[in-house]
């Protein structure tokens, strides 16, 4: 059986820089592209980070410049992670 991380009520399975998430409550399955997974992991490791800190960490982790555009993208991605209940609403 697969080595799947349990994040009750969700299951997360990573392959390289991508992942899939199964939500036990809704039965939905979501695909996390590399940027989304990286941001999700940063949020888990640093639950108190503000948007600017998240953006800086994300830039470092995926090897891109820390720009205003990346901050917008980070904010949008956080919204998506909240929409699928992987992150709690602020």
Partner 1 sequence: MKLLQMPQPELRRQLAGAGIWMRTGPFSVRVQSRIPHVAHGLTELYGQFEIRSTHESFADFHVSVNAPNTPRRWLRPQAVFSFDGMHPFKPLPRDQAFPMLEWGLNWCVSTQAHQYLIIHAAVVEKNGRAAILPAPPGSGKSTLTAGLVLSGWRLLSDELTLIDRKTGLIHPLPRPVSLKNQSIDVIRQFAPDVYINRASLDTIKGTVAHMCPPRESVRRQHESARPGWVIFPKWDAGAPTRMTPRSQAQTFMFLAQNAFNYSHLGEDGFRVGAALIDQTLCYDFRYSKLDEAIVAFDQLANTPPA
Tell me, by CB under 8 A, how many residues bind partner 1: 18
Among 16, 47, 48, 68, binds partner 1 (CB under 8 A): 16
Q: For partner 1, which stretch binds (CB under 8 A), given 9-17, 40-48, 54-62, 72-80?
A: 9-17
Stretch that binds partner 1, among 12-20, 50-58, 71-79, 82-90 (CB under 8 A): 12-20
Taking CB under 8 A as the criterion, the residue among 8, 15, 50, 68 binding partner 1 is 15
Token pair, residue 51, equals 């948007």
Peptide bond before residue 88 is cis, with ω within 30 degrees of 0: no
């Amino acid at each position: 059986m697969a080595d799947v991380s349990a994040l009750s009520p969700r299951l997360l399975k990573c392959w390289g820089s991508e992942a899939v998430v199964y939500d036990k409550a809704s039965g939905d399955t979501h695909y996390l592209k590399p940027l989304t997974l990286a941001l999700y992991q940063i949020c888990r490791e640093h639950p108190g980070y503000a948007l600017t800190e998240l953006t800086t960490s994300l830039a470092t982790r995926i090897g891109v410049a820390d720009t205003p555009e990346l901050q917008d993208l980070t904010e949008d991605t956080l919204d998506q992670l909240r929409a699928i209940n992987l992150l709690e609403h602020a």
